Chains A and B, each alone.
Chain A
Amino acid sequence: AQSVAQPEDQVNVAEGNPLTVKCTYSVSGNPYLFWYVQYPNRGLQFLLKYITGDNLVKGSYGFEAEFNKSQTSFHLKKPSALVSDSALYFCAVRPPYSGAGSYQLTFGKGTKLSVIP
């Protein structure tokens, strides 16, 4: 079964500094990887995904993520943090198709990002 680990419950960063939110995964085969953001009292919004190809993926709101197959990681990054980036971030994985269980999208526990003015 697939799994996702987000090792940091909270990340604090000063406004204007680069940010990184870490994600590692465990899945058989080549995974599909996703990042979502959740603002207070809202549903999850899609940020970006890795399917195949270039290991650096660009997404919404200036976010990007780097896929590293050897380290089984998919860290979310942004060159310059904004106060409005403060939110809860979720990494998710879906395995390549291999049966009914492949439909499941498995999430990490989330990382709370706080950008300090």
Chain B
Amino acid sequence: NAGVTQTPKFRVLKTGQSMTLLCAQDMNHEYMYWYRQDPGMGLRLIHYSVGEGTTAKGEVPDGYNVSRLKKQNFLLGLESAAPSQTSVYFCASSDRRMNTEAFFGQGTRLTVV
């Protein structure tokens, strides 16, 4: 099993450009999450999804949009990138049981210049 796969692994954007980060999981998990990791801030939840066709805002949703058209995929979009969105982005997925752990992808390092 590949687990959780994120694409791309690295990206440099210019301010104002747009891009989409793709997360794919092969574990048939119901729940999927997008986090950003910044030094000294830990992981902060951007958006999450509890099932195909559903999404919800997390702690820091501004400037991001998400879609979950297929159960195995969770897309994170930046419509107009800003330097403040320079970060490492992690996707995670988990089973619908509340007591199960989440599985993480390898991360996407995004730099906005």
Contacts and interface: CB of A to CB of B under 8 A. Distances in A.
Contacts of A6: 42
Interface residues of B, number: 26
B74 interface: no
B106 A34 contact: no
A44 interface: yes
Interface string A38-77: 0001111110010100000000000000000000000000
A105 interface: yes
Interface string A86-117: 00001000101100101111111110000000
A43 B107 contact: yes
A105 B102 contact: yes
Contacts of B43: 44, 90, 107
Contacts, number: 58
Contact of A100 (B50, B101, B104): B50
Interface in B58-113: 58, 90, 92, 94, 98-99, 101-107
Nearest to B109: A41
Contacts of A102: 98
Contacts of A106: 45
B3 to A, nearest CB: 9
B104 A97 contact: no
B45 A43 contact: no
A97 B90 CA distance: 24
B12 interface: no
Interface in B1-56: 4, 31, 33, 35, 40-45, 48, 50, 56
A79 to B, nearest CB: 23
B41 A109 contact: yes
Contacts of A108: 42
Nearest to A111: B42
Interface of B: 4, 31, 33, 35, 40-45, 48, 50, 56, 58, 90, 92, 94, 98-99, 101-107
Given A46-B102, A46-B103, A103-B98, 14 more contacts: A32-B99, A43-B90, A43-B106, A43-B107, A44-B43, A44-B92, A45-B104, A49-B99, A51-B99, A100-B56, A103-B56, A105-B45, A108-B42, A109-B42
